[in-house]
Structure 1
Amino acid sequence: MPLVNTAEMFKKAYEGKYAIGAFNVNNMEIIQGIVAAANEEKSPLILQVSAGARKYANPIYLRKLVEAAIEDTNLPIALHLDHGESFEICKQCIDDGFSSVMFDGSALPFEENIRITRQVVEYAHAKGVSVEAELGKLAGVEDDVQVKAEDATYTDPDQAVEFVERTGVDSLAIAIGTSHGAYKFKGEPKLDFPRLEKISNLLPGYPLVLHGASSVLEEYVAMCNAFGGNIPGAKGVPEDMLAQASKLGVCKINVDTDLRLAMTAAIRKCLAENPNEFDPRKYLGPGRDAIKQVVQHKIKNVFNCSNRI
């Protein structure tokens, strides 16, 4: 099975009222852990490559690893560019074989965001590639995405309709209160579900996307800190809120921070308990197992995406 784009995935997810996990990847062990979980759960899967991953691992290496995962499992997998900052980067990833790209023009004026998104859509659709865009700004830090809390803006529902109609984009990332990174909320976490419901009602059948949706799982924060870390207690997005969002038109939910925390916690624990260990396989293996555990939990208990293929 070749790489797939997200169009048919999202159609089924919308009708079934579930979400597909979109997990950020940086190396072989992360890809193996994610794919092993999806294979056991019989779940479709989106693997994402961010700006940071492109710099660290080279998208060609990551694409070949994803192709190996498909050959090994025959899962329906989309390889997605996360937060593409220009038409040129989106074009390069399309030409390199990605099956889905995101152009992030959320920091641009509305008309400029529309213009470039439409340009990406026209190029991508001619190649059979799906396109995600973003309207509204999420606070927080993740790789090259940095937005101060005071600069964050929620997505305007009427603008969302105009944006989709004028660009022809396949899915839209919206801002309803999630945030990139581990330090999401000062007070109690809260998502703007009335706003989400309004957008979904104005765009019936249309797939929406949540970025910054890690839950910052407490057990992995505690494990990191138990073995030499100093990560402050952080409140992520409660998992019941993510499950609720998937019933209101959200078909793709991004996860990155939870994977980083889980892998780091497992590696720190291994090295703390075995300080003389110098075989990377002995500590990257537990990191891979932790990734699998987190992804399997998300697919089965949060996104309701098990047994969808």
Structure 2
Amino acid sequence: MALVTTTEMFKKAYEGGYAIGAFNVNNMEIVQAITEAAGELKSPVILQVSAGARKYANATYLRKLVEAAVIENPDIPIALHLDHGADFDICKSCVDGGFTSVMIDASKYPFQENIEITKKVVEYAHAHGVVVEAELGKLAGIEDDVKVSAEDSSYTQPEEVEEFVDKTGVDSLAIAIGTSHGAFKFKPGTKPQLRFDILHEIEKKIPGFPIVLHGASSVPQEYVKIINEHGGALKDAIGVPEDQLREAARSAVCKINIDSDLRLGLTAGIRQVMSEHPDYFDPRQYLTVARQNVKDVVAHKIQDVLGSAGKA
């Protein structure tokens, strides 16, 4: 099976009341872990590449790793997605480079300018058979080149979504309902609560349209504990409760982005192995454990949170 777009994935997810996991990739081990878990559980999957990943590993290297994963997992649909494309040129480069889906994130601009930038990307991408995600509203937090303070964040306004979708022709829409980028989403002692009232209002405005949640890692505390035990400083890291993600997956949310949880699993594995075996110098020794942690995270998300197991 070749790389696919997300069109059919989202149609089935919307109708079936589940969501597709969009997992960020940065190296071979992460690509292997995600696709092995998805392959074993017969789940469709989205592999996404951020600005930081492109700088670190090069988009061409990552695309070739993903192409290898497609060969190794021919029975599951795999989409290759650009995460948070900052402008038209970056999106065009990824469309031309073989990505099957791109995100243009012009949410930092005024509403009408966001429409104009997004429409330009949509027109080019659609002419080349590639689908487009856009963002309306601004998530707080830090993810690679995306940096938004809590003061500058804003919820998506339901009254704007219909005009935005109609005028841009976009294929899916990332909204802001209380998630945020990074592992520190909520203050200690607070009760995290996503704004499902906003989500349901948006569903009414654009029925049948696929919605995306960014910043939706749950920050597994077992990995936070391991990192802290070996010199880390993540004691206050709190993510999105998984029961709320399950509720989102049963709604119009068809794509849920997960990055921090993978980083935590990878880092916890490396820190634990290097602490217990300070004489190790072969990266295969510690990356094997780290890769398994990432695979475990992905398998858990697919089975117990997203509901996409067996949906390939």
Range of TM-score over shorter length: over 0.9
**What letter corresponds to residue 116 of structure 1 in structure 2?**
I
Aligned position for 2:206: 203
Aligned position for 2:167: 166
CA deviations over 1:77-101 (Å, ceiling 9, x no partner): 0000000000000000000000000
> Retained in 2: the 8 A contact 1:83–1:103?
yes
Q: How many residues are treated as equivalent by the alignment?
A: 309
Aligned position for 2:134: 133
Aligned position for 1:275: 278
CA deviations over 1:58-92 (Å, ceiling 9, x no partner): 00000000000000111210000000000000000
**What letter corresponds to residue 46 of structure 2 in structure 1?**
I
Aligned position for 1:17: 17
Q: 1:278 is paired with a residue of what secondary structure?
A: coil
Aligned position for 1:65: 65
Does structure 1 residue 252 correspond to structure 2 residue 265?
Answer: no
Aligned position for 2:191: 188
**What letter corresponds to residue 104 of structure 2 in structure 1?**
F
After TM superposition, give the deviation of residue 233 of structure 1 in Å: 2.2
Aligned position for 1:36: 36
- TM-score in terms of structure 1 length: 0.99
- Residues in 2 aligned to 1:230 and 1:157: alpha-carbon distance in whole angstroms: 38
**What letter corresponds to residue 21 of structure 1 in structure 2?**
G
Does structure 1 residue 235 correspond to structure 2 residue 238?
Answer: yes
After TM superposition, give the deviation of residue 8 of structure 1 in Å: 0.6
CA deviations over 1:2-22 (Å, ceiling 9, x no partner): 110001100000000100000
Q: 2:174 is paired with a residue of what secondary structure?
A: strand
After TM superposition, give the deviation of residue 226 of structure 1 in Å: 1.1
Further displaced range: 1-10 or 231-240? 231-240
- Residues in 2 aligned to 1:305 and 1:162: alpha-carbon distance in whole angstroms: 31
Q: 1:101 is paired with a residue of what secondary structure?
A: strand
After TM superposition, give the deviation of residue 247 of structure 1 in Å: 1.5
- Residues in 2 aligned to 1:305 and 1:19: alpha-carbon distance in whole angstroms: 6
CA deviations over 1:9-38 (Å, ceiling 9, x no partner): 000000001000000000000000001110
Extract unaligned runs of 5+ from structure 1.
none
> Retained in 2: the 8 A contact 1:221–1:233?
no
Aligned position for 2:46: 46
Aligned position for 1:306: 309
- Residues in 2 aligned to 1:99 and 1:21: alpha-carbon distance in whole angstroms: 16
Out of 275, 284, 289, the position equivalent to 1:286 is 289
CA deviations over 1:122-174 (Å, ceiling 9, x no partner): 00011110100000000001111100001110000110111001000000000
- Residues in 1 aligned to 2:231 and 2:197: alpha-carbon distance in whole angstroms: 42
Q: 2:30 is paired with a residue of what secondary structure?
A: helix
> Retained in 2: the 8 A contact 1:155–1:174?
yes
After TM superposition, give the deviation of residue 232 of structure 1 in Å: 2.4
> Retained in 1: the 8 A contact 2:225–2:235?
no
Aligned position for 1:124: 125
- Residues in 2 aligned to 1:52 and 1:166: alpha-carbon distance in whole angstroms: 30
- TM-score in terms of structure 2 length: 0.98
- Residues in 2 aligned to 1:127 and 1:239: alpha-carbon distance in whole angstroms: 37
**What letter corresponds to residue 50 of structure 1 in structure 2?**
S
CA deviations over 1:170-222 (Å, ceiling 9, x no partner): 00000000000011012211100011011012111100000000001111100
- Residues in 2 aligned to 1:248 and 1:158: alpha-carbon distance in whole angstroms: 19
- Residues in 1 aligned to 2:232 and 2:186: alpha-carbon distance in whole angstroms: 20
Please tell me the root mean square deviation across aligned C-alpha atoms, in Å: 0.6
- Residues in 2 aligned to 1:234 and 1:277: alpha-carbon distance in whole angstroms: 29
- Residues in 1 aligned to 2:282 and 2:237: alpha-carbon distance in whole angstroms: 32
Out of 290, 295, 298, the position equivalent to 1:295 is 298
- Residues in 2 aligned to 1:85 and 1:29: alpha-carbon distance in whole angstroms: 26
**What letter corresponds to residue 235 of structure 2 in structure 1?**
P
- Residues in 2 aligned to 1:203 and 1:101: alpha-carbon distance in whole angstroms: 21
